[in-house]
A and B are shown apart, each in its own frame.
Chain A
Amino acid sequence: MCMRCLELSRRSLLVGGGVAAAALTTGTAQARVRPQDMQPLIGPGFKPTDRDEQGLWQLMERAEEEIAGSNLLMNDPALTGYLKNLIGRVGGPAAQDMRIYLAHIPEFNAVMFPSGFTVIFSGLLLRARNEAQLAGVIAHESGHFLRRHMIRSWRDQKRKSDLLAIGSMVAGVGGAGAGVYLGDYVQLAELGAILSLFSYSRGMEAEADAMGTRLIAEAGYPAAEMASVWQQLIGEESASARYRGKRRRRGSLFDSHPSPDSRMADLRASAAEVTIPGRPYDNGRARYLNAIGPIRPMMLDDQVKLNDPGASQYLIQTLAQDGWNGLLRFYEGEIWRLRNRRDDDDRAAQSYAAAVVYPDAPADAFRWHGISLLKQGRSGEAKQAFSRYLVMKPDAPDAPWVRQMMG
């Protein structure tokens, strides 16, 4: 139950012309789930009583222990406290029961585990432009837990695989008894079962989106921000694909999640439904920037090193819609410098020059600004930039080298 899981190998699932036949019965398009229909299915302090769910929870105990002690986790108490507080606001009846972990993984994703703990990837904190957007994703994950999606989809899989196994066996034995070969029908049924599992999974995601919209609106966030998250993601994926000369992947029958496009459209409609006219909604942007401020340079650094200039540039442009600053300008320069195509050094130089004007410019901006100036033969200005770098970062590992460059 994650925001965007890895897609299964679709090719391995394609079985002849059965796709077309099965598509008629399942279809990709699904009706929107309405937020008002989304009642939490569990209350505070929920503990499983059914045998299969107890088994699942026990398995998750070790998984959580493993994740909680992982060295991929970011354990800064201010930041984890902030996230805990946030899930406390949008977690509905289970707000006090759920646990939240932050993993240092530069990807846009979040995962909810069956026993009520969630892992947020740092790439999500980089992309969210305000607290409402992050709260929206957390609320979506809470929705999975509140609607008991893991055990429901487990039971769905179990039922379908049982039916399929019995059906195939009966078809085999019965067909052999009657002297006909039913193998093709069994394959078709198999495909139908697989497609219906994916369709079920997309249905759960749609539920979690609707539940999430409702939760953040009740907590006083503008619900439309959840749709913006997807709008930004679509933009980022398109930019990344365009840069690589490819087309962005659209949804298919074999997706576990609805396509970002349909999610965005549904979320827009749901947001309008849950918004009460006259009630003030706050996106909590200042609070958010304050909380993630200390790790923002690190997250930007992770992003530009992913070697995806199309996505990185789109991301920085998007974040800059809320105003440019020294940090964003510096990393814009880093994208060009690392891409290193024709004229990229000029682009990078411009960004570094723009970065150092802002009061929040990082020390490295002055270093690279200095190097760019040196290349242009402006050694006097370069010297100033370098000395500023050394003042800001006296223990820099390359300090002797920089001093030598200053002459």
Chain B
Amino acid sequence: MRKWGLALALAAAVPMGGCVQMQQYADVQFTPPQGNYKLLVLRPDVTVGSITTGGMIEPRADWTEQARTNIVAALRAQQATQGGQVLVVERRNELQGVTAQELADIERLNSAVAQSIVLHKYLGETLPTKRRRGLDWTLGQDAVRLGQKTGYDYALFMHAEDQVASTGRVLLGVLGAAGCFVGFCAPNIGGATQLDYASLVDLKTGEVVWFNVVRAGSEVPGIKFGDLRTPQGAAQMVDRLLGRMKPGQAVRQAAARESR
């Protein structure tokens, strides 16, 4: 599946330390949405799984549901502070005036564009034609039509996946750490990992105006970095992912000139 391919590519790109990493890009003319704007959140893609002792990822339906509920609540709360009106679309047929097929097409288009953004912005395959131009990608007229049909200003696509180390995995890590005393040191077998990314599309122009990737992880099982199953963890994730939107380069430079 395309979405997983993207997640895997990102997982490989960001080195696995015991840390939280964020990297956002914005259109040079981007100003974070403020005041009275309408935001459409298209099917937040959430999966929470458990890391088995052997290192396989076991998807967990109950945890995923819990995390999805928490994330949606955290998202509404976070957007309310910016003054935005938010509609979270959970199913493709929920949006008035837009068929499920049209929404599916937009999602797939975004997925392809996001793949390209990840390749050229995060995986080091920089394009000479897009150098120093911030984020220069667009979903084109399809996104503009979605805006016209629904009356929304922005669309937000969001992906979050969280893997929680099972007790067995944590114990295996403990054994690996204990081995350090006899000369076989293997505490870093890989523990909890979280990968989130989001893209914001301006439905007036169709352009992808902002993109952010957050990766939190630990090579040592047992260390946690915000658990999406808890409201606090979800709020922390939404804040990391969406709470620190920076304006685009041109906007920042203009602001700097003004303050001088």
Contact = CB atoms under 8 A, between A and B. Distances in A.
A25 B182 CA distance: 33
Most chain B CB within a 10 A radius of its CB, from A54, A62, A162, A164? A162
B55 A176 contact: no
A51 B172 contact: no
B226 interface: no
Contacts of B45: 62
Contacts of A54: 60-62
Interface stretch (A153-161, A304-312, A322-330, A381-389): A153-161
B182 A165 contact: no
A176 B172 CA distance: 16
B124 interface: no
A56 B179 CA distance: 35
Nearest to A52: B58
Nearest to A54: B61
Nearest to A61: B61
B60 A162 contact: no
Contacts of A173: 175-176, 178-179, 182, 184, 186
B182 A162 contact: no
Nearest to A51: B60
A281 interface: no
A176 B183 CA distance: 6
B64 interface: yes
A133 B245 CA distance: 58
Interface in A29-72: 51-52, 54-59, 62-63, 65-66, 69
A58 B1 contact: no
B56 interface: yes
B9 interface: no
Given A58-B61, A65-B92, A177 B182 contact: yes
B178 to A, nearest CB: 7
B4 to A, nearest CB: 10
Contacts of A158: 52, 54, 56, 58
Contacts of A58: 59, 61, 64
B49 interface: yes
Interface string B160-195: 000000001000100110110011101001000000
Nearest to A161: B54
Given A59-B47, A169-B179, A177-B182, A51 B54 contact: no
A172 interface: yes
* Secondary structure call for the B interface: mixed
Interface in B170-224: 172, 175-176, 178-179, 182-184, 186, 189
Contacts of B52: 158, 161-162
A163 B55 CA distance: 11
B81 interface: no
Interface residues of B, number: 30
Interface residues of A, number: 29
Contacts, number: 76
A172 B179 contact: yes
A170 interface: yes
Interface in A258-292: none
A166 interface: yes
Contacts of A400: none
Interface string A147-188: 000000000011011111110011011011100000000000
Given A59-B47, A65-B92, A162-B54, A176 B184 contact: yes
Contacts of B62: 51, 54
Contacts of A57: 61
- Main secondary structure on A side of the interface with B: helix
Given A69-B100, A172-B186, A162 B53 contact: yes
B186 A69 contact: no
Contact of B101 (A63, A69, A162): A69
Contacts of A163: 54
Interface in B22-48: 45, 47
Nearest to B104: A69
A170 B56 contact: no
A160 B52 CA distance: 11
A173 B175 CA distance: 8
A331 to B, nearest CB: 33
Report which residue of B56, B64, B100 has the largest number of chain A beta carbons within 10 angstroms of its beta carbon.
B56
Contacts of A69: 92, 100-101, 104
A175 B183 CA distance: 10
Contacts of A51: 60-62
Nearest to B91: A65
A175 B49 CA distance: 33
B86 to A, nearest CB: 22
A165 B171 CA distance: 11
Interface string A172-211: 1101110000000000000000000000000000000000
Contacts of A63: 1
Contacts of B179: 169, 172-173, 176
B82 to A, nearest CB: 29
B64 A162 contact: no
Contacts of B168: 162
Contact of B59 (A55, A165, A175): A55
B189 to A, nearest CB: 8
Contacts of B182: 173, 176-177
B186 A160 contact: no
9 contacts: A58-B59, A62-B45, A63-B1, A162-B168, A169-B175, A169-B189, A172-B186, A173-B186, A176-B184
Given A52-B58, A176-B184, 4 more contacts: A161-B56, A172-B179, A172-B184, A173-B182
4 nearest A-B pairs in the assembled complex, by CB-CB distance = A161-B54, A176-B184, A55-B59, A173-B179
